[in-house]
Amino acid sequence: MSATALENITSRDLPHLKISDLEIGPVWVKFTSKAGKRYTAVHVPRHPKGPYLLLCSEDKDRKDFAKVSKMVEKAMWCKADGRIGDRGDDICDVLRFIRLPFNFFELMSKAVTSFYEANFLEVTIPVIYLDKN
């Protein structure tokens, strides 16, 4: 299997991409909270314990992080592990799906075009990794 990447995708481009759940890899979504804090949500579709989101913030504002995490949990049917880790350059937590998405790419696309765009600022999709056979 070889990996390919689509870079700098806009939210307007997402609905027009035809990506199956068999080929979708991690999707990076960057955004800024209303408090001006920077975040990255890495949507990971395949993992031995199931799909998850890794939510990270370079600004390390734990109060804002908790608020943003709750918003993402609700919109994406996830539950945070609640173990916010400090990795030096950022803080992060794993959000696990409590209901597995029927179509991961479709769920992620709708989240970006509706949830992220409606609730956060400067939403970008710097990279979508694809697993091609």
Write out the residue range of the structural domain in which residue 101 sits: 32-123
Structural domain contains residue 119 = yes
* Residue 37 falls inside a structural domain: yes
pLDDT of 101 reads 60
pLDDT in tens, 87-132: 999 999 999 988 766 688 888 888 888 899 999 999 999 999 998 6
pTM, rounded to two decimals: 0.90
- Predicted confidence band of residue 1 (pLDDT cuts 50, 70, 90): very low
pLDDT of residue 93: 97
Distance CA(7)–CA(84), nearest Å, equals 28
Report how many domains make up the chain.
1
pLDDT given for residue 3 in this prediction: 67
Q: Report yes or no on 69 lying in a domain.
A: yes
Which tokens in the block code for residue 122? 């400067």
Can you give the three-state secondary structure of 3-23, one letter per residue? EEEEEEECCCCHHHCCCCCCC
42 in any annotated domain: yes
pLDDT digits (tens, 9 = 90+) for 9-48: 988 888 889 888 889 999 999 999 999 999 999 999 888 8
